[in-house]
Every structure is written in C-alpha cells, then in structure tokens.
Amino acid sequence: MVQTGKYWTLVDAGLGSADLRNPRDRLGDTFLRRVRPALNPAEPAITQVQALGIDPHDVRSIVLTHHDVDHVGGIADFPWASVYVSRAQIDLIIPALRKDMVRRLHPVQWSHTPHWKPVTLSETWRSRPSFRLNDSLSLVALDGHIEGHCAVVIDRENEPPLIHAGDAVMDVKIELFGGRAPLGLRAFQHMTRTDARAWRESRSWLKECVEDGIDVICAHEPHPRLSGAR
C-alpha cells in the first residue's frame, strides 16, 4: 500500500474474500490444481487493511500489474476504488474476454463493474513505455508474463524508487542476483508466459535496475523491509 495524502493506493489486489468463499467459480479448476493456494482467511487485502487500522474506504485507488486471478480478485472488496491498469490489459477483457484467455482469466472477478481507469503508456521511464499516475506512482511496461503486464514504480523520499515487478519474476533473490530458480518454478513461468522474448527482455531490464541500486520486489515473495510496514 502507498499513502498519498490521507488516502491509500493498493498495488495489486490479490485474492478477495469472495474468492475464498467460492474458489472453484472465481479462480477456476486449473489455477486451484496447479497453484494449490492456501486460501487463508487472513490473506485478502481488505482483511490486512483493517488489521492495520485503516478504514477500507480510504483505499481510493488500486493499481494492477495484470489480471491473473490471484492479482485481481480483491478489487471486489473495494468497489468504490478506481482501478488503474494498462490499456493492453483492458483490451484482453473488454468488451468480452478474448478467447485465448478463457482458461486463465475469470470475468466473474470483475462482474461488480469496477471503476476501470485504463491508461496508455505514452511516456518513458528508464527507456520503457510508462505512465505517471500521480506524484508517487507510475505504470511501466513489463511484458512477457501476459500481454499488458506492468511494473509499478513507487517513488520514495531520499531513497531510490521501488519497483513492484508483478509476476515478471517470482523470486527476486534468485532470479535477479545470478541464481537459478528451482525446476518447478521455471516450468510454471514458462507455462504461464505469453511472449518468451519479451519476458526475457523484461527480466534483463529488472537486472539492470538492481545493478543501479533500485529495489525490486515481486508479487509472490515477501520483502523483509516492507513486511508489516505501511
């Protein structure tokens, strides 16, 4: 979460409370079989927001890296929030879900008619297409995992920016610091990516950012400096 004034922005929404109540319809058998999510009732963002003592209605915006089921389901718990996403991601689902995405994306997760705010990446950040959402946040193209996948860049006072890389990597310590991911993780990444060349280019770009002293986190790995912190 990122605070802007007295309000908050959520970066990715994770699984929502409705996903835990009805996982088969909202997440799909393929996701449940391959990922085997814990479906922990403490996991939904709205539960964690409340645990921090924050009024959920103060979460006024959500920025999505992409629409995979484990990133988007939580938007239903914040129906009042504006949901920012790349134009390329919106084109996969509106006006109708593209046929090649039927098994991967599940429109029931956004059947509540969210306040979509699609953005065109008409600017540039470190040589990649980008769009600045406000003084603190930018969406930056990070293709490969799925069309329109983006990183979220968070500007920080007196520190280098922080990059939330979504699913471009799934283990920062191993994948961006010269290690080799376990076979199972590599197989999953190869199975879910939609453009191998773009995926490799995105990861090379992230490695360059790390070499330049920029912190990178990803969606599926807790960051020790940020865990439990606002």
The pLDDT score that the predictor gives to residue 223 is: 56
The pTM (predicted TM-score) of the whole model is 0.92
Whole-angstrom distance, CA of residue 214 vs CA of residue 211: 7
The pLDDT score that the predictor gives to residue 209 is: 96
Centre a 10 Å sphere on the Cβ of residue 220 and count the other Cβ atoms it contains: 14
The pLDDT score that the predictor gives to residue 103 is: 87
**Residues of the chain with confidence (pLDDT) below 70:** 222-230
The pLDDT score that the predictor gives to residue 156 is: 93
The pLDDT score that the predictor gives to residue 191 is: 87
Decide: 154 and 167 in contact? Cβ < 8 Å.
Answer: no
Could you say which DSSP state residue 115 is in? E
Q: Which domains does the chain have, with CATH numbers?
A: 2-217 (3.60.15.10)
To which H or E segment does residue 196 belong? Answer: helix 196-211
The pLDDT score that the predictor gives to residue 229 is: 38
